[in-house]
Amino acid sequence: AINPYMAFAVLDDLVKRGDVQMNYETAEKNYIKAVCKGLYKIMSKMGISTIRS
């Protein structure tokens, strides 16, 4: 399991130290996009084709 608060704190730290060559907003957007793509891939393998609230 991934703790979202910890992931965003690590992103913030990486940006502040200069280990990531982008601003925090872009890094956050890229992280969320990557997590969503991974979840969608796992869900499709499980046979879940629709997402409902």
Per-residue pLDDT of the chain (53 residues; tens, 9 = 90+): 889 999 999 999 999 999 999 999 999 999 999 999 999 899 888 888 777 65
In eight-state DSSP terms, residue 42 is H
Q: List alpha helices for 1-53, DSSP H.
A: 4-17, 24-46
pLDDT attached to residue 53: 54
d(CA 44, CA 29): 22
Q: How many CA atoms lie within 13 A of 13 on its CB side?
A: 6
Domain locations in the chain as residue ranges: 4-43
d(CA 51, CA 53): 7
d(CA 53, CA 42): 18
* Its pTM surpasses 0.85: no
